[in-house]
């Protein structure tokens, strides 16, 4: 690959070149070690155009072919990747699949660290405003920051690919944003000039108002029914008063305005769930995260028909079931066992949809995946007694009551393990000569043959 640099910025424009069933997405990035950046993208496509995704695809971790490719257009001039993705969410009724993937991209040393990535696409949906040629442009400045001493990480978002508004109603849409550096994040409309950030979908949704500092879009849906594309740049700044961002991330999604006979107050509603808006939930790598999400219909005559999610890779959503006896509430359960490679923060969002296609406000939370808990039991030098006997009881109870139940723990001595019972009593056991404890298979194996987990 060739990268050409000027003086400070690495601007990689991600052009998703020529994709015809695109339904929006986001392109963000963060630095990794060794003069590399990791570009993260989420893309949504029309499901019925060959983008088959179901619970199996998600569970199996199947990589699906995307459409188009991501190009570096400033600072370098390569095709970075085709837009293959791990499907994370799908809607049969709205005919979309959405998924995400990341790619590590090596950068050449240079005095100008600005890169721009781009993607362009042609959308099959006839839009109320705009020409339905999509173009995305994300910019990264890889200069080491003076305030943090590190290279910046861009802001991220987790928008649904399709947002539904009701004709005649006033809508407030909060764009979920987050930034790993804790920077000030602002949103603005993408522009055609001086650099084309949005092709035919620039500054649509006339009559709407975007509050740049809160990233809240308000729109009174009194113009036309039908499809609108929204193209925004999400930008991070050191201070509120700064005008030059560290990075500019392209976010695009669709709004559908439908003419419904119900009153504006009859939209579905999300009661206080464990995963509340703005909450931060912790889980650990290789441990099961399992939560239910309840939604309520906006009127006795209406039914909740879906709870749509924007999920991290590998999260499975159950079917929708009735909840309680009110006849107005339904729930899904989301289950996720994060991989070690997913240690870090993930935005997770959901909305409820009813039988008229009305949607609730979006609820978004941050899921933090921590390192695996250290279950190692420390033994004395001779490996025949616990160093901290008082901790063994707790560790055995945790292990034997967890999901799945585990009856063995690793120790600080490689040829020994602890056998627990459900009363919390642990017993030190020695592996047969020539073997050692191998914790991820929970058995003793020939010394040196316990391959570490991927």
Ligand X SMILES: *[C@@H]1O[C@H](CO)[C@@H](O)[C@H](O)[C@H]1NC(C)=O
Q: Which parts of this chain interact with ligand X (CB under 6 A)?
A: 8-9, 34, 56, 60, 62, 106, 114, 141, 143, 145, 167, 170, 208-209, 218, 220, 225, 244, 259, 288, 290, 292, 333, 335, 374, 376, 378, 403, 412
Q: Tell me how crowded residue 441 is: count the other CB atoms within 10 A of its CB.
A: 11
Q: Between residues 147 and 422, which has the closer beta carbon with respect to ligand X?
A: 147
State in angstroms the smallest separation of the CB of 182 from ligand X.
15
Q: How far is the CB of 279 from ligand X (least distance, A)?
A: 18
- Using CA of residue 444, residue 445, residue 446, residue 452, what is the dihedral sign? negative
Cα angle 321, 322, 326 (rounded to 5 degrees) comes to 170
Q: Which is nearer to ligand X, 121 or 313 (CB)?
A: 313
- Closest Cα to residue 140, out of 165, 166, 107? 107
Positive or negative, the Cα torsion across 53, 54, 56, 59?
Answer: positive
**What secondary structure letter does DSSP report for 261?**
S
Of 122 and 329, nearer to ligand X (C-beta) is 329
Phi/psi region, residue 65 (left: phi>0; alpha: psi -120 to 50; beta: rest), is: beta
Q: Of how many residues is the chain composed?
A: 454
Least gap, CB of 123 to ligand X (angstroms):
22
Toward ligand X, which CB reaches closer, 18 or 170?
170
Tell me the C-alpha distance between 445 and 454, whole Å: 18
For the bound state, the minimum distance from the C-beta of residue 139 to ligand X, rounded and expressed in Å, comes to 8
The C-alpha angle with vertex 271 and arms to 267 and 272, in degrees rounded to 5, equals 150
Q: How far is the CB of 254 from ligand X (least distance, A)?
A: 18
Question: Measured from the CB atom, is 259 or 421 closer to ligand X?
Answer: 259
Give 237's Cβ-side CA count (13 Å radius).
Answer: 17
Min CB(140)–ligand X separation in Å: 10
- Check if the beta carbon of residue 150 is closer than 8 Å to that of residue 246: no
Q: Nearer to ligand X by C-beta: 195 or 335?
A: 335
Least distance in Å: CB of 133 to ligand X? 26
CB of 218 to ligand X, least distance (A): 5
Which tokens is 377 given?
Answer: 């039991």
Chain-centroid distance, C-alpha 335:
15
319 vs 403, which CB is nearer to ligand X? Answer: 403
Instruction: Reply yes or no: is the peptide bond before residue 194 cis, omega within 30 of 0.
Output: yes
Q: How far is CA 315 from the centre of its chain?
A: 10
Q: Which is nearer to ligand X, 225 or 273 (CB)?
A: 225
């Amino acid at each position: 690959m060739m990268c050409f640099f000027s003086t400070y910025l690495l601007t990689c424009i991600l052009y998703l070149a020529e994709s015809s069933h695109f339904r929006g997405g986001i392109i963000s990035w963060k630095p990794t070690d060794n003069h590399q950046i990791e570009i993260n993208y989420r893309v949504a496509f029309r499901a019925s155009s060959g983008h088959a995704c179901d619970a199996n695809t998600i569970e199996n971790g199947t990589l699906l072919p995307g459409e188009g490719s991501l190009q570096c257009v400033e600072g370098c001039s390569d095709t970075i990747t085709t837009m293959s993705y791990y499907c994370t969410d799908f809607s049969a009724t709205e005919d979309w699949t959405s998924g995400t993937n990341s790619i590590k991209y090596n950068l050449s040393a240079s005095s100008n660290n600005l890169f721009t990535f781009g993607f362009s696409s042609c959308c099959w949906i006839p839009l109320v405003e705009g020409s339905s040629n999509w173009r995305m442009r994300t910019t990264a400045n890889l200069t080491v920051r003076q305030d943090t001493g590190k290279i910046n990480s861009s802001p991220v978002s987790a928008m649904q690919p399709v947002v539904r508004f009701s004709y005649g109603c006033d809508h407030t849409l909060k764009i979920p944003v987050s930034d790993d550096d804790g920077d000030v994040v602002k949103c603005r409309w993408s522009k055609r000039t001086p650099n084309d950030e949005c092709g035919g979908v620039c500054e649509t949704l006339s009559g709407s108002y975007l509050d740049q500092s809160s990233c809240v879009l308000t729109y009174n849906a009194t113009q036309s029914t039908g499809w609108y594309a929204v193209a925004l740049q999400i930008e991070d700044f050191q201070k509120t008063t700064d005008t030059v961002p560290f990075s500019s991330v392209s976010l695009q999604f669709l709004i559908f305005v439908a003419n419904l006979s119900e009153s504006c107050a009859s939209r579905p509603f999300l009661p206080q769930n464990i995963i509340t808006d703005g909450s931060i939930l912790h889980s650990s790598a290789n441990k099961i995260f399992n939560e239910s999400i309840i939604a309520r219909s906006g009127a006795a005559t209406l039914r909740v028909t879906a709870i749509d999610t924007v999920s991290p890779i590998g999260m499975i959503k159950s079917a929708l079931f009735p909840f309680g006896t009110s006849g107005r509430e339904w729930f899904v359960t989301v289950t996720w066992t994060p991989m070690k490679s997913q240690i870090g923060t993930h935005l997770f969002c959901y909305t409820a949809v009813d039988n008229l296609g009305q949607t609730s406000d979006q609820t978004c939370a941050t899921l933090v995946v921590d390192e695996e808990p250290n279950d190692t039991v420390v033994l004395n030098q001779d490996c025949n007694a616990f160093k901290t006997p008082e901790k063994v009881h707790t560790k055995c109870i945790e292990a034997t009551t967890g999901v799945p139940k585990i009856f063995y723990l690793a120790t600080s001595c490689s040829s020994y393990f602890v056998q627990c019972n459900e009363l919390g009593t642990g017993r030190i056991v020695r592996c047969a000569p020539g073997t050692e404890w191998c914790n991820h298979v929970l058995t003793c194996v020939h010394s040196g043959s316990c391959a570490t987990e991927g």
